[in-house]
Amino acid sequence: MSRVLLTVLASLPLWAQAAPKHAYQALAQVPFTPGQGSGVAMAINDRGTVCGMWTGPTGAFCWRDGQLTELQPLPGDDNVFVEGINERGQAVGFSQSTVSFRRSAVVFIDGAAQPLTIPQATDAYASGFDNAGDVVGTYTARNGDNMAFVYRHGEVRDLGTLGQAIRNSSAAGIDNRKQIVGSSYVDTLTPLGNRQTRAFLYQHGAMTALPTPAGYGSVASRINERGQVIGRLERNDASFEDYRAALWDKGQVKVLLEQASDARGINNRGQVVGAVLTGSGGFFYEPGKGVRSLNDLIDTSSGWNIVYAQAINERGQIVGFGCKGDLCGPVLMNPAPPSMSWSGAGQ
């Protein structure tokens, strides 16, 4: 445990921290519908292509330069979910029938779902994608085990698990160095007898647990090209109110926000975005500058309320879920031109 460092990088409430004024401009991605639950932007690549969920017939879309593409399911299915996108504009997720609810892991190419063949799976979904076309995700085997996998050149490779009593793992993200992150059950039980979960890093053919403090479980969600991993810590036997957004870097874990939160997106500059689970705004973390509420970075007099963020690209563009009045849906936050920023704040 000497390698575990719990550092609270935001001891002040989000609203008390200095931030550039109007550093971002918020834009609706697809036509909003009244009320909550009308979709969310899930992923963005460096070219600015955004993919996410919406209230269209099949449930998912990709958008670029004002052009919307509705993602199509596999034959016989009627619904899709999108999770990630690479620089080639290919997205990953799953296709399913709302009658059987059986999911099939897919890659979306030119808007159409292409299946990943996993013969041993009764259910599968894809979560991450690199630029070479390697896909990571999770499938359910016929014996009920959930298994993290990587799909490469038409072949499926199981990544294994950290525990043996119950073999259960899931893969969430992959970088272009073939490093994979996710979470797995371990054999250790919580004081109430529940199975503990550990974030993992898979590289060079081996899965290793990421540092996690005593009394906590952990989940990893994404990794950047520098090997920095994000996710959350989970206090044993507690509710989501005890989740804490976390960053693993050089063998240490840091708490990014001492509020109920989780980290969902990271770029190669180490900028992190995510959700504050007990309030609105989400968060934006920048190395050396700490954590800010996303709503502190926009002009709220425009009527916008950013609820949470899902991803950030190398240009600093952020996507997630937001509302303008009673209209809610997928939102894109673009960095404002320098002339629109207040240079005296956050310096």
The strand pairing partners of 275, in sequence order, are 262
pLDDT, greater one: 17 or 37: 37
Question: What pLDDT is stored for residue 32 in this prediction?
Answer: 76
Of 156-160, 231-235, 340-344, the one with minimum mean pLDDT is 340-344
Q: Give every CB contact of residue 70 below 8 A, 6+ residues apart in sequence.
A: 56, 57, 58, 60, 61, 111
Query: What's the per-residue H, E or C state across 55-75?
Result: CCCCCEEEEECCEEEECECCC
Mean pLDDT in residue range 21-36? 79
Question: What pLDDT is stored for residue 346 in this prediction?
Answer: 31
Mean pLDDT in residue range 300-322? 95
Q: 345: pLDDT confidence band, cut at 50, 70 and 90?
A: very low
Q: Is the dihedral of CA 232, 233, 239, 241 positive or negative?
A: negative
pLDDT in tens, 93-110: 999 998 988 999 999 999
Mean pLDDT of the chain: 89
Question: Is the model's pLDDT at 14 over the cut of 60?
Answer: no
Q: 8: pLDDT confidence band, cut at 50, 70 and 90?
A: very low
The one-letter amino acid code at 162 reads L
E-assigned strand segments in 14-154: 24-28, 33-34, 39-44, 50-54, 60-64, 67-70, 79-85, 91-96, 103-109, 112-115, 121-129, 135-141, 146-152
Mean pLDDT in residue range 286-312? 94
Looking up tokens 């401009």 gives 25
Mean pLDDT in residue range 70-76? 97
Question: What pLDDT is stored for residue 89 in this prediction?
Answer: 93
Question: Is the model's pLDDT at 33 over the cut of 90?
Answer: no
The one-letter amino acid code at 156 reads V
Question: What pLDDT is stored for residue 178 in this prediction?
Answer: 96
Question: Distance from CA of residue 33 to its chain's centroid?
Answer: 24
Q: 21: pLDDT confidence band, cut at 50, 70 and 90?
A: low
Question: What pLDDT is stored for residue 30 in this prediction?
Answer: 80
In terms of DSSP bridges, do strands 180-189 and 195-203 run parallel, antiparallel, or are they unpaired?
antiparallel
Mean pLDDT in residue range 302-317? 95
pLDDT in tens, 159-207: 999 998 989 999 999 999 999 999 999 999 999 999 999 999 999 999 9
pLDDT in tens, 131-147: 999 999 999 999 999 99
Mean pLDDT in residue range 65-73? 92
What strands, in cross-sheet order, belong to the sheet with 39-44?
39-44, 50-54, 60-64, 67-70
Q: 29: pLDDT confidence band, cut at 50, 70 and 90?
A: confident
Nearest to 125 by CA among 114, 144, 112, 140: 140
pLDDT in tens, 231-244: 999 999 999 999 99
Looking up tokens 């199981």 gives 158
pLDDT in tens, 243-286: 999 999 999 999 999 999 999 999 999 999 999 999 888 999 99
Q: What is the DSSP string of 236-294?
A: TT--GGGEEEEEEETTEEEES-SSSEEEEEE-TT--EEEEETTSSS-EEEETTTEEEEG
Question: What pLDDT is stored for residue 248 in this prediction?
Answer: 98
Encoded tokens for 4:
């575990």
Is residue 149 helix, strand or coil?
A: strand
DSSP 8-state secondary structure symbol assigned to residue 131: T
Q: Give every CB contact of residue 22 below 8 A, 6+ residues apart in sequence.
A: 297, 298, 299, 336, 340, 341, 342
Nearest to 175 by CA among 130, 135, 219, 236: 130
Q: What percent of the chain has pLDDT over 70?
A: 90
The Cα 143–Cα 54 span in angstroms is 34
The Cα 26–Cα 316 span in angstroms is 13
Question: What pLDDT is stored for residue 308 in this prediction?
Answer: 96
The Cα 287–Cα 136 span in angstroms is 28
The Cα 320–Cα 274 span in angstroms is 9
DSSP 8-state secondary structure symbol assigned to residue 347: -
Question: Is the model's pLDDT at 18 over the cut of 60?
Answer: no
Predicted TM-score (pTM) of the model is: 0.89
